[in-house]
Amino acid sequence: MIAIESIRSFFRGRIAEKEPLAPYTSMKVGGPAQLFLEPKDRDDLLALVQFLREQAIPFMMIGRGSNMIVSDEGFLGAVIHLEPGLSRVSLFEGDVVAEAGARLTKLVDFCTQHGLQGLEWAAGIPGSVGGAVVMNAGAHGSEMKDYVVEVEALRGTSVVTVRAQDAGFAYRTSAFTRDIVLSARFRLRSGDREQILRKKSELMARRNATQPLTLPNSGSMFTNPPGMHAARLIEQAGLKGKRIGDAQISEKHANFMVNLGSARAADILRLIDLVRRTVHQNTGILLQLEVKLVGFPEDVMASLS
Ligand SMILES: Cc1cc2nc3c(=O)[nH]c(=O)nc-3n(C[C@H](O)[C@H](O)[C@H](O)COP(=O)(O)OP(=O)(O)OC[C@H]3O[C@@H](n4cnc5c(N)ncnc54)[C@H](O)[C@@H]3O)c2cc1C
């Protein structure tokens, strides 16, 4: 039992019980969070996390839910959503500082308005700043790590400022997987607004041409093995278009799975398992999940991670 009244006594943000998580994810699947919390501001968040830790209540962060599959049973514990309360983007000493809940699109638009170039590649990534920093999101040969100067995070009970070189950034991961990212500071170059806009729309058009963006999806399901493309391996395994329930391996991009309407997380999990087994049988390569699994039994998560 979560002591919701105790939380209400100090928490100033929104609290919802049994909040369905599907609408908060880009795949649009998943059951409810036992408790869903939207801190009003940073102090509210810090007090909340301290309380949850003291009470040993399991909790997790959700950004834009664009890199996670939530189980049909949902998450037994508290889910913390930062967008409403912590999503400011501002200029500070010539750098751009973005709070973790800000959408990447808001960050990129802010940079464009201020004639700052560098992050155009991130325009089509539907994540939050926090999720993108934790995942070291990247595209078109660039990654977050190329533009982040420092990250502010809650690590254990301390708020720490971590310089980019100490942030453990690597392909789709970072040293922040057990922390709460609070904000990130980006260093960008001055550029011509028209040129920045042109580059953004060029890269967005490329995405539209190659990704199934009209259906709910979670982006790339698997990381690319060194020197290879997961999509090609899945395609070579003859799995493009394969469907289980309403979950389908996209016809347009084999490393994307799409929700055709009423897919369940269990269908997606079965497709993931099928892809991994088939590609492994064919090539000896065991694909690793890029997406994070949330609320599945430990043994399922361990067998797929
Ligand atoms: C159509 C589409 C295209 C995509 N294209 C790309 C691409 O080109 N490149 C790419 O890298 N990714 C891509 N993605 C995947 C995804 O958008 C990125 O990984 C994104 O950075 C995830 O951000 P999010 O806020 O949605 O994270 P979520 O999915 O909400 O969370 C991802 C992980 O980060 C954790 N997390 C979230 N916020 C915080 C925080 N503040 N502190 C600590 N942990 C946190 C979560 O607990 C979870 O473990 C794409 C996804 C889609 C749907």
Asked if residue 72 and residue 15 are part of one domain, the reply reads yes
Give the global pTM.
0.97
Alpha carbon distances (Å) from 58 to 2, 34, 75, 108, 241? 10, 10, 9, 33, 37
**Tens-level pLDDT at each residue, the chain (305 residues):** 677 999 999 999 999 999 999 999 999 999 999 999 999 999 999 999 999 999 999 999 999 999 999 999 999 999 999 999 999 999 999 999 999 999 999 999 999 999 999 999 999 999 999 999 999 999 999 999 999 999 999 999 999 999 999 999 999 999 999 999 999 999 999 999 999 999 999 999 999 999 999 999 999 999 999 999 999 999 999 999 999 999 999 999 999 999 999 999 999 999 999 999 999 999 999 999 999 999 999 888 888 76
The whole-number pLDDT of residue 1 equals: 67
- Domain range for 259 is 213-304
Q: Residues with beta carbon inside 6 Å of ligand 1? A: 26, 60-68, 82, 100, 125-128, 130-132, 134-135, 137-139, 176, 180-181, 211, 213, 217-219, 292
In a domain, 27, yes or no: yes
In a domain, 46, yes or no: yes
Asked if residue 39 and residue 11 are part of one domain, the reply reads yes
Is 221 in a helix, a strand, or coil? coil
The whole-number pLDDT of residue 132 equals: 98
Asked if residue 281 and residue 235 are part of one domain, the reply reads yes
Residue 212, CA atoms < 13 Å, CB-side half-sphere = 23
Q: Which stretches of 71-171 are assigned E, i.e. beta strand?
A: 75-81, 89-92, 95-99, 116-117, 138-139, 142-143, 148-155, 158-163
Number of neighbours of residue 53 by Cβ within 10 angstroms:
12
Identify whether 290 is a catalytic site residue: yes
Asked if residue 297 and residue 241 are part of one domain, the reply reads yes
Q: Which of 25, 49, 81 is the last residue of a domain?
A: 81
The whole-number pLDDT of residue 303 equals: 81
Q: Kindly report the CATH number assigned to the domain that includes residue 48.
A: 3.30.43.10
Q: Kindly report the CATH number assigned to the domain that includes residue 236.
A: 3.90.78.10
Supply the residue whose CA is at minimum distance from atom 31 of ligand 1.
Answer: 131
In a domain, 236, yes or no: yes
- How would you classify the pairing of strands 247-249 and 256-259? antiparallel
In a domain, 242, yes or no: yes
In a domain, 206, yes or no: no
The whole-number pLDDT of residue 300 equals: 87
60 Cα nearest atom in ligand 1: 47
Q: Kindly report the CATH number assigned to the domain that includes residue 93.
A: 3.30.465.10
The whole-number pLDDT of residue 176 equals: 98
292 Cα nearest atom in ligand 1: 49
Q: Which of 166, 195, 224 is the last residue of a domain?
A: 195
Identify whether 206 is a catalytic site residue: no
In a domain, 207, yes or no: no
Asked if residue 160 and residue 111 are part of one domain, the reply reads yes
The whole-number pLDDT of residue 139 equals: 96
The whole-number pLDDT of residue 248 equals: 98
Asked if residue 13 and residue 30 are part of one domain, the reply reads yes
